[in-house]
Amino acid sequence: MHSLDGFARSKLAALEAGGLRRSLIRTRRLAGPWVERAGKTCLSFSCNDYLNLTHHPDVVAAARQAITDYGTGAGASRLVTGDHPLMEALETRLARFKGAEAACVFATGYAANTGTIPVFVGKGDRVLVDARAHACIWAGAKLSDAEVLTYRHNDLDHLESLLRQPATGASLIITEGVFSMDGDRAPIGEIAALAGRYGAWLMTDDAHGVGVLAEGRGSNALFPAARIDLQMGTLSKALASSGGYVCGSKAAIDLIKTRARSFVYSTGLPPASASAALAALEVIEARPELCALPLAKASLLTRAANLPEAESAIVPIILGEPQTALDAQAALEAEGFLVVAIRPPTVAAGTSRLRIAVTSGHPDADIERLGAALRKLAS
């Protein structure tokens, strides 16, 4: 039997050979969408800070003040160390923002999904998940011990055919509002109607919709009549902070707070993260015109690059093999654009791509220039 180090080396070599090894590259984020990498300033299209609020003076000041007032870390699980008043303020604000009775904040969005799903389904139940859902939704579904059924991406007929199959326990449908790697949107209204017809529960993950769609309120706000039992989201993208949340009925949230393992057995969000997210929410609620910019600018890019019209701030360019995507990344980097290649297993084999995230701060002239560079790549 070879050593653990030997095992790691051979795994890395195999990944390298397939163009699938990942590595961290030192990159300093500057204000707005710019970054510094290897001594060069680049315009980044690979960051989910959709409204560039991570450097907004009010958001930075709020985080600083929270550190001054309360220190840097939460110290323990919120159930153990005592709940910080900032958490209550953030949860109350998030619930109001999402039109729900209550909210629960987790240390990450990943923890929100892996913790929440097993609270509501388990052995004997079933989870119906869109094929392109995020890794942490799959992780939560698997952890739950429920039967996991995959429906073809945004395919309502397939979802209905699965719902029609007899079930003994509860059924939970999970979809993203905006799909993180494809940038397209889920037909939430129709999915909610199916959930109602078949007595299923519906959970949405709107990590990439908040701050961008429906004047910043997210994908679900596009479907005001839809009944959505659990609205999950993250503080780490347009909300310019770190952490995740779930909104729902008061009882659902109370149950999460007493049963979700990633909540109960994990240290709470640092006060500065809560404070930054609160300040970002303030900006989002006050400035709907700012929230309209990422989609408007993504549409400018899709027009300039001759691509299908953008549905969100995310524009995918599907290229196929990992090396093709890596080569395209390198070609764009030479022109001053940081557009990171996304490869399996983040996306399906044969669909390696450039994933372009457009923010409110990208200058129109640079978007046009990127569009021209993408047209050149395609020719």
Ligand X SMILES: Cc1ncc(COP(=O)(O)O)c(C=O)c1O
C-beta atoms surrounding 320 within 10 Å: 12
| Known active-site residue 190 | no
Site membership for ligand X, residue 110 (CB under 6 A): yes
Site membership for ligand X, residue 116 (CB under 6 A): no
The residues near 311 (Cβ < 8 Å, ≥ 6 apart) are 178, 183, 184, 185, 295
Give me the catalytic one of 56, 98, 208, 297: 208
Report the residue number whose CB is nearest to ligand X: 109
| Known active-site residue 208 | yes
Q: Which is nearer to ligand X, 241 or 371 (CB)?
A: 241
> Which two three-digit tokens encode residue 321?
């093999």
Binding segment for ligand X among 49-57, 66-74, 84-92, 104-112 (CB under 6 A)? 104-112
Site membership for ligand X, residue 332 (CB under 6 A): no
Is 153:348 a contact under the CB 8 Å cutoff? no
Preceding amide of 363 cis, omega within 30: no
Please state the closest distance from residue 324 (CB atom) to ligand X, in A: 23
Among 66, 121, 136, 374, binds ligand X (CB under 6 A): 136
Residue 110: strand, helix, or coil: helix
Site membership for ligand X, residue 176 (CB under 6 A): yes
Site membership for ligand X, residue 46 (CB under 6 A): no
The residues near 97 (Cβ < 8 Å, ≥ 6 apart) are 217, 281, 285
Instruction: Give the β-pairing of 230-234 and 201-205.
Output: parallel
> Which two three-digit tokens encode residue 314?
């995310």
Q: Which is nearer to ligand X, 177 or 371 (CB)?
A: 177
Among 44, 54, 108, 360, binds ligand X (CB under 6 A): 108
Please state the closest distance from residue 204 (CB atom) to ligand X, in A: 10
Sequence-ordered strand ranges (E) for 45-135:
102-106, 126-130
| Known active-site residue 48 | yes
Nearest to 239 by CA among 51, 45, 28, 65: 51
| Known active-site residue 77 | no
Site membership for ligand X, residue 236 (CB under 6 A): yes
100 DSSP 8-state letter: -
Site membership for ligand X, residue 134 (CB under 6 A): yes
Helices within 287-379 (DSSP H only): 288-291, 293-304, 322-334, 364-378
Sequence-ordered strand ranges (E) for 244-330:
244-248, 314-320
Site membership for ligand X, residue 207 (CB under 6 A): yes
Number of residues that bind ligand X (CB under 6 A): 13
Among 125, 182, 205, 311, binds ligand X (CB under 6 A): 205
Residues in the chain: 379
Please state the closest distance from residue 109 (CB atom) to ligand X, in A: 2
| Known active-site residue 257 | no
Site membership for ligand X, residue 109 (CB under 6 A): yes
| Known active-site residue 55 | no
Cα–Cα distances (Å) from 215 to 126, 221, 285, in that order, read 34, 9, 8
Give me the catalytic one of 125, 176, 182, 229: 176
Q: What is the rounded distance in angstroms from the CA atom of residue 111 to the CA atom of residue 36? A: 30
Q: Per CB under 6 A, which of residues 270..309 are in contact with ligand X?
A: none
Please state the closest distance from residue 378 (CB atom) to ligand X, in A: 26
Q: Per CB under 6 A, which of residues 241..270 are in contact with ligand X?
A: 244
Q: What is the rounded distance in angstroms from the CA atom of residue 75 to the CA atom of residue 177? A: 33
Q: Which is nearer to ligand X, 47 or 325 (CB)?
A: 47
45 DSSP 8-state letter: S
Residues tagged active-site: 48, 134, 176, 180, 205, 208, 237
Residues that bind ligand X (CB under 6 A): 108-110, 113, 134, 136, 176, 180, 205, 207, 234, 236, 244
